[in-house]
Amino acid sequence: MSKYVITKNMTESQRLAAIKKAADRFNKKIGRNQRVRKTETSFMDRYNDGDNINAWTDAPKYVDEYYGDRAREQSAYESEWN
């Protein structure tokens, strides 16, 4: 819940002061989040050269290791259609 309460019996200058305090607090929080984001995610920027760093780069080895004969049979079956 907000620490800054605006009521009906406040003057316009009091309301604007409360809004200014809330806005200052919000902007301070946004600035802090930006600083944290820049320091915590800087490692991601170093490896981003357009490639997906999470992509499996050795697909034929992976298929052979985990699927072996089944993958070769499927590939041979599909090549008959083309």
The model's pTM: 0.44
> Mind giving me the DSSP string for 19-73?
HHHHHHHHHHHHHHHHHHHHHHSHHHHHT-SSS-TTS-S-HHHHHHHHTHHHHHH
Give the residue with greater pLDDT, 23 vs 82: 23
Q: Is 22 exposed, middle or buried (0-12, 13-18, 19+ CB in 10 A)?
A: middle
Read off the pLDDT of residues 1-48 as tens digits, 9 standing for 90 and up.
467 788 889 999 999 999 999 999 999 999 999 888 877 766 665 655
Mean pLDDT of 57-61: 81
Q: Quote the DSSP letter at residue 8.
A: T
Q: What residues does each domain of the chain span?
A: 12-46+55-81
C-alpha Rg value of the chain to the nearest Å: 29
